[in-house]
């Protein structure tokens, strides 16, 4: 049962998204104590969507590795359902929301930083975490798109 580099890459991407989520949730920011908490930020919602999507990808990879060689029709049917769920999440949520968040965030950031990421947030959110939440999507989605044909 040898792991393909693409499968290892998807597992590493999932771990990096989980790490970013944990670091973001560990920040004591006043906006997290108001109505909606961090769920009112589209960048956070996108980060959760990407983490769930790559979780489904890793689950699909593990399932395909474990069912390889088995002739069970039921396992094949379940694997096809999981693959169709992965493809649906990619087409409906992960890719469109990810591209929208990245393009809108950086377009507005270039136009007027204070509209989307005020300088006050630099005291709470480090630059690496901001890039991990926003820019990482445009690094990981092309890798996923090139490694698996949907």
Are 59 and 18 in contact by the 8 Å Cβ rule? The answer is: no
Assess if residue 20 is contained within a domain: no
Report which of residues 20 and 141 the model is more confident about. 20
Q: Which domain holds residue 84?
A: 38-118
Share of the chain above pLDDT 70, in %: 95
Assess if residue 24 is contained within a domain: no
CA 8, distance to chain mean position in Å, is 16
Assess if residue 74 is contained within a domain: yes
Assess if residue 47 is contained within a domain: yes
- How sure is the predictor about 124, in pLDDT bands with cuts at 50, 70 and 90? confident
pLDDT on residue 48: 94
Q: CA 87 to CA 102: how far, in whole Å?
A: 21
Closest Cα to residue 82, out of 99, 110, 62?
62
Assess if residue 89 is contained within a domain: yes
Assess if residue 51 is contained within a domain: yes
pTM over 0.85: yes
pLDDT on residue 96: 93
Number of independent structural domains in the chain: 1
Residues 19-65: pLDDT tens digits? 999 888 888 877 777 888 888 889 899 999 999 999 999 999 898 88
């Amino acid at each position: 049962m040898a792991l393909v580099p693409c499968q290892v890459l998807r597992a590493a991407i999932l771990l990096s998204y989980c790490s970013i989520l944990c670091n973001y949730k560990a920040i004591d920011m006043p906006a997290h104590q108001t109505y909606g908490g961090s769920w009112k930020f589209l960048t956070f919602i996108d980060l959760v969507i990407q983490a769930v999507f790559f979780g489904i990808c890793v689950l699909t990879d593990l399932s395909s590795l474990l069912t390889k060689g088995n002739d069970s029709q039921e396992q094949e049917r379940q694997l096809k359902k999981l693959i169709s769920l992965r493809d649906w999440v990619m087409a409906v949520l992960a890719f469109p929301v990810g591209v929208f968040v990245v393009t809108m965030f950086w377009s507005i950031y270039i136009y007027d930083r204070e509209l989307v990421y005020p300088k006050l947030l630099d005291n709470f959110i480090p630059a690496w975490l901001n890039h991990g939440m926003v820019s990482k999507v445009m690094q990981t989605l092309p890798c996923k798109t090139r490694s698996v044909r949907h």
